[in-house]
Amino acid sequence: MCEKGFEFLDHTADVLVKAWGRTLPEALSEIARGMFEIMTDTSKIEPTTAIEIEVCGFDLENLVYRWLEELLYYHDSKNLVFGEFQVVSIEEKSSGDNEKSICLKAIVKGEVFNRDKHESRTVVKAVTYHNMSVIRENDKWTITVVFDI
């Protein structure tokens, strides 16, 4: 198995993606690439538009959910598809009332979806918590997410 990547696993009705990397930022980048690969061929996406993303979650699963949900928002509202995902930082933050959150900053690159250029595959309706996992084991991070199609 490669140091980083993703694969589609069998699921009865939706799409199950398993992504991995040596670091959490690599695994987060790969799960995002896997989500966009459901929708189109990411190798044909040119990095003409860059967007800064910043999301926080109350735990790692919530961070993954918020990360993917934010990317899906840009796809749904701005018709953007992304092929490059650079997670710049992940850090724990505390609010004034002693609540902690995990925050991610990233730069994603892509372009407006063009039917003449990009293959139209399956529409991703939503990110789900069903069977979601974020695991660190033997110096490797693995993220599993089911996408509602």
Q: Which domain holds residue 45?
A: 5-148
pLDDT of residue 11: 66
Query: Tens of pLDDT along 107-135?
Result: 999 999 999 999 999 999 999 999 999 99
Residue 126 C-alpha from the chain's centroid: 12
Number of domains composing the chain = 1
CA atoms of 57 and 44, how far apart (whole Å): 31
Please report which helix (H) or strand (E) contains residue 148, including its range: strand 140-148
Query: Tens of pLDDT along 66-101?
Result: 999 999 999 999 999 999 999 999 999 987 777 899
* 81 contacts 45 by C-beta, under 8 angstroms: yes
pLDDT of residue 55: 98
* 82 contacts 71 by C-beta, under 8 angstroms: yes
For 50-62, what is the mean pLDDT?
Answer: 97
What CATH number is given to the structural domain containing 99? 3.55.10.10
Please name the residue that has the structure tokens 């009705």: 13
Q: Which residues are annotated binding-site positions for Ca(2+)?
A: 14, 148-149
pLDDT of residue 1: 54
Query: Tens of pLDDT along 5-38?
Result: 888 777 677 899 999 999 999 999 999 999 999 9
pLDDT of residue 99: 85
Q: Which residues are annotated binding-site positions?
A: 14, 148-149
